[in-house]
Amino acid sequence: MKTVSACIFDLDGVLVDTAKYHFIAWRNLAARWHIELTHEENEKLKGVSRKDSLLHIVALGDITLTDEEIEHWCAVKNEEYLSLVAGMNASELLPNVVELLEELKTKHIKIGLGSASKNAAFILEKTGIQHFFEAVVSGNDVTHSKPHPEVFHKGAKMLGVKSEETIVFEDSQKGIQAAKSGGFYAVGIGKEEDLKTADLVIPSFEKYTFEDIKQSLSQINKI
Ligand code: B16
Ligand code: MG
Say if residue 31 is in the same domain as residue 66.
yes
Residue 223: what pLDDT? 78
On whether residue 1 sits in a domain, the answer given is no
Are 144 and 114 a contacting pair, CB within 8 Å? no
Say if residue 26 is in the same domain as residue 10.
no
Can 12 be counted among the known catalytic residues?
A: yes
Question: Cis peptide before 95, with omega less than 30 degrees from 0?
Answer: no
**Domain encompassing residue 112:** 6-17+92-219
The SS3 call for residue 186 is: strand
Are 92 and 61 a contacting pair, CB within 8 Å? no
On whether residue 62 sits in a domain, the answer given is yes
Total H helices, total E strands in the chain:
9, 6
Task: Express each pLDDT in 69-82 by its tens digit.
Answer: 999 999 999 999 99
**Cβ 176 under 6 angstroms from ligand 1:** no
Q: How confident is the model at residue 221 (pLDDT cuts 50, 70, 90)?
A: confident
Q: What is the CATH number of the domain that holds 54?
A: 1.10.150.240
On whether residue 211 sits in a domain, the answer given is yes
On whether residue 119 sits in a domain, the answer given is yes
Q: Tell which residue, 210, 9, 29, 12, has the closest CA to residue 126.
A: 12
Say if residue 134 is in the same domain as residue 34.
no
* Rounded mean pLDDT, 144-166: 97
Task: Express each pLDDT in 77-114 by its tens digit.
Answer: 999 999 999 999 999 999 999 999 999 999 999 999 99
Q: Tell which residue, 173, 178, 49, 62, has the closest CA to residue 117.
A: 49
- Nearest-angstrom CA–CA distance, 189 and 198: 9
Q: Pick from 54, 85, 116: which residue ends a domain?
A: 85
Say if residue 72 is in the same domain as residue 148.
no
Edge-first strand order for the sheet with 6-9 is 135-137, 110-114, 6-9, 166-170, 185-189, 200-202
**Tally of structural domains, the chain:** 2
Are 48 and 174 a contacting pair, CB within 8 Å? yes
Task: Express each pLDDT in 49-59 by its tens digit.
Answer: 999 999 999 99
Say if residue 150 is in the same domain as residue 56.
no
Say if residue 123 is in the same domain as residue 196.
yes
Instruction: Give 26 Cα–ligand 1 centroid separation in angstroms.
Output: 12
Give me the percent of the chain exceeding a pLDDT of 70. 100
Q: What is the CATH number of the domain that holds 168?
A: 3.40.50.1000
Instruction: Give 5 Cα–ligand 1 centroid separation in angstroms.
Output: 26
Tell me which of 8, 14, 22 to substitute to probe ligand 1's pocket, judged by most ligand atoms within 8 Å of the beta carbon. 22
Are 86 and 95 a contacting pair, CB within 8 Å? no
pTM across the whole model: 0.94
Can 199 be counted among the known catalytic residues?
A: no
Within 10 A of 119 (CB to CB), how many other CB atoms are there?
21
Q: Pick from 37, 59, 85: which residue ends a domain?
A: 85
Say if residue 12 is in the same domain as residue 24.
no
Say if residue 77 is in the same domain as residue 125.
no
On whether residue 124 sits in a domain, the answer given is yes
Say if residue 97 is in the same domain as residue 155.
yes
On whether residue 34 sits in a domain, the answer given is yes
Say if residue 135 is in the same domain as residue 208.
yes
Q: Pick from 52, 85, 118: which residue ends a domain?
A: 85
Instruction: Give 110 Cα–ligand 1 centroid separation in angstroms.
Output: 23
Residue 176: what pLDDT? 96
- Nearest-angstrom CA–CA distance, 132 and 48: 25
The SS3 call for residue 12 is: strand
Are 166 and 179 a contacting pair, CB within 8 Å? no
Say if residue 11 is in the same domain as residue 41.
no
On whether residue 67 sits in a domain, the answer given is yes
Residue 2: what pLDDT? 80
Say if residue 10 is in the same domain as residue 29.
no
Query: Does residue 173 register a pLDDT over 80?
Result: yes
Q: How far is CA 170 from the centre of its chain?
A: 6
